[in-house]
Amino acid sequence: MTEVRHPQGMVVAPEVAATFALAIGSYSRSLQGQAAAVAAMSEKVTTGWIEGVSDVLRALDKLRQPVPDPACAVDLQARVTEIAGEIELRLTSLMAEVQRQDMVRQMMDSISGMATAIGDLDLAELVTSTEAALHPRRIVEATEAGFVMDTQREAVQAQPASATGAAPDLELF
């Protein structure tokens, strides 16, 4: 069997090396899943803003179109009110995009926490036992146990959203 050596020269027991390989694999998959969730959410936010701006511009274009009878002030007022209402509704709906953007921030905080935790590991200690070699897996478990949004949790667990039995978006107790 090939001897596994720690960079500082010490020999690492095969079971410890195997445990570490599995744990770091779990960490890596979790990080990849979370990064993918961030990318998907960022794209959704950008798309939301672009669609919102496009809708508002389309509504403004309607204001520029000639009115059938400019002499009829009531019709004109009704038309302006209707288009202004459309614009207002679309602009206020962008509140949801701000919330999605905040979700991206929280996801990035979680990724940052995981990266910091792996950076803080003591390499010499990692090879002393299988328990110590499990540290990267413990980081993933700690992330899952904390306040991690569900989108993120799904990425951590590498599970499709439909498999989690999603609860309703609105519930009054």
Partner 1 sequence: MKKILLVDDSPTVLASMRQVLERANYAVEASVSPEVALAKIGSGYNPDLVITDLNMPGMNGIEFIAAARRLPPCRFIPILVLTTESGQAHRDKAKIAGATGWLVKPVAPEKLFEVLRQVLV
Q: Where on the chain is the footprint of partner 1 (CB under 8 A)? A: 88, 92-103, 105-106, 147, 149-151, 153, 166-167, 169-173
10: phi then psi, degrees, rounded to nearest 5: -75, 150
Q: Are 135 and 110 in contact (CB under 8 A)?
A: no
147: phi then psi, degrees, rounded to nearest 5: -75, 90
Please, which residue, 34 or 151, has the CB nearer to partner 1?
151
Q: Are 31 and 114 in contact (CB under 8 A)?
A: yes
How crowded is residue 97: how many other Cβ atoms within 10 Å of its Cβ? 17
Please, which residue, 73 or 145, has the CB nearer to partner 1?
145
Please, which residue, 43 or 61, has the CB nearer to partner 1?
43
How many residues are given for the chain?
173
Please, which residue, 58 or 105, has the CB nearer to partner 1?
105
What minimum distance in Å lies between the beta carbon of 14 and partner 1? Answer: 39
What minimum distance in Å lies between the beta carbon of 166 and partner 1? Answer: 6
Point out which residues pair with 45 in neighbouring strands: none
Please, which residue, 94 or 118, has the CB nearer to partner 1?
94
49, 52, 58, 62 alpha-carbon torsion, rounded to 10°: -140
What minimum distance in Å lies between the beta carbon of 51 and partner 1? Answer: 14
What minimum distance in Å lies between the beta carbon of 49 and partner 1? Answer: 12
Structure letter (DSSP) for residue 173: -
What minimum distance in Å lies between the beta carbon of 119 and partner 1? Answer: 21
